[in-house]
Amino acid sequence: MSETSSPNALNQRFRGFFPVVIDVETAGFNADTDALLEIAAISLKMDDDGWLQPDQTLHFNVTPFEGAILHPEALAFTGINPADPERNAVSEHDALHAIFKMVRKGMKDSDCARAVIVAHNANFDHSFVMAAAQRSHLKRNPFHPFATFDTAALSGLVLGQTVLAKACKAAGMEFDSHQAHSALYDTQQTATLFCELVNRWKRLGGWPLPVATDGNETGAEPV
């Protein structure tokens, strides 16, 4: 069996998707009008035994795009001062260009066909990434246009918790509330959580799938 056809290969685990954990901090809830202020991305890899783990990390403070709305209540919530020169912020284009480059290389190395965003309440992060990519005229967007892996939903199923901090603690992880709402910290925690959820399913015998026997795809007794 070749490496890429093994159930322990990353491209076999998620039907050819390359999972990338992303978190964004923003100045509001509307991806089309409100500023993207911070973004972090962590790619994932599988070891030879099929255990999922974090791989490469990128993190950027982002300059609000021209005309972006900055809601004061959102800035108060995140504690971000967009005008602080010590943020060393870059444009949306530069941040996403670097992330997309990392993702495309990871896809090629793992023989995956498309990248998928993994995030907590993933629709929010996905919408901001897609809107920023469109504003930046980045045509080679590696991410699926609508599919995501949502750790809030997965945590609700596996752990009975949907809030990131509570899900992490239920999974036996530490969570520092003082570092929360930093894109880098939240991405690191979400990546660790997602890996734990996937690996826990493997430990419980859910992956690899049972080998088909006598035409029965699941290997279970026929009804």
Angstrom distance (rounded) from CA 152 to CA 194: 10
Place of tokens 């980045």: 138
59 is catalytic: no
* Rounded (5°) CA angle 71-97-91: 35
Of the candidates 71, 93, 97, 181, the residue annotated as catalytic is 181
- Secondary structure element (H or E) that encloses residue 174, with its range: none
- Which structure tokens are listed for 185? 């910290």
Q: Whole-angstrom Cα distance, residue 95 to residue 129?
A: 10
Residue type, 182: S
Task: For residue 220, give both structure tokens.
Answer: 């279970």
Distance between start and end Cα atoms, the chain:
32
Distance CA 11, CA 154 (A): 20
**∠28-31-32 over CA atoms, to 5°?**
115
- How far is CA 190 from its chain centroid? 7
Please list the active-site residues.
Answer: 181
